Amino acid sequence: MLARTLEPEFMDDRAEAVDYNDMDFREVNEGFVRDLIASARLTALPDPESPLGRDILDLGTGTARIPIELCKTESHVRVMAADAAVEMLELARYNIEVHSMLDRIQLHHGDAKKLIFQKEYFDTVMSNSLIHHLPSHDGFFREVLRVLRPGGFLFVRDLYRPSSDAEVERLVKEHAGQENERSQQLFRQSLHAGLTVAELSEIVAPFGIPSEAIAMSSDRHWTLSYRKPIPTSATAASII
């Protein structure tokens, strides 16, 4: 198994942000939104027709492609799109304006490990390709579960670290072979920084998230899909 090689926690280089924005993630983003809705619907309580609720937090939004796709698909949702990289958010603002989503997507500059939002504020928290940027993950999951309401939905997807350099190169060729050299290198670095399913299971276990909530969802992605339990009256009384 390849050792994990960290990359910068966020991309705030203008050229890298532009290259990232120009990469063709359309199929991946559409698949993320499709799987998000389908997974939420499977566990929706109590309204399967509105499994995501209304208020969505997207952590590591990048240039906001996924919030835009989600708002195009789900007319009732509004999204707080958060990222630590100013250059990403500048491009995100442009994308949101082009798609006339200024009234439904709000941008937030902040650290996913130290969120400013109040407890149990969001109906759904989602994140795509942020985890592999983080050197440690306890703060992320602690904050995510703090701001997620009881019964709320958590959906996280990221890259799986392959077992060999040869497999990394195969994935780069297959999925980024049409991109420029800089974009291919970004993808290569991200694969080296990814987590395995076993590593992620160990990280989230202390937060009460079962290993069954995590599964491989493509040849290069794992997905964590989890609905936060609603406390019973007995549990609530003990907390009070």
Q: Angle 86-98/14-22 helices, nearest 10 degrees? A: 40
Total number of domains in the chain: 1
Q: How would you classify the pairing of strands 122-128 and 148-159?
A: parallel
Res 232: pLDDT: 80
Span of 23-32, 58-67, 110-119 with lowest mean pLDDT: 23-32
- Identify the band that residue 7 occupies on the pLDDT scale cut at 50, 70 and 90: confident
Res 81: pLDDT: 98
Report the CATH number that the domain containing residue 199 is assigned in CATH: 3.40.50.150
Whether residue 239 is contained in a domain is answered as no
Average pLDDT over residues 191-218: 98
Q: Is the pLDDT of residue 240 over 70?
A: no
- pTM for the full predicted model: 0.91
- Taking the C-alpha atoms of residue 121 and residue 219, their distance in angstroms, rounded to an integer, is 34
What domain range includes position 145?
14-230
Whether residue 106 is contained in a domain is answered as yes
Res 20: pLDDT: 72
Whether residue 124 is contained in a domain is answered as yes
Whether residue 4 is contained in a domain is answered as no
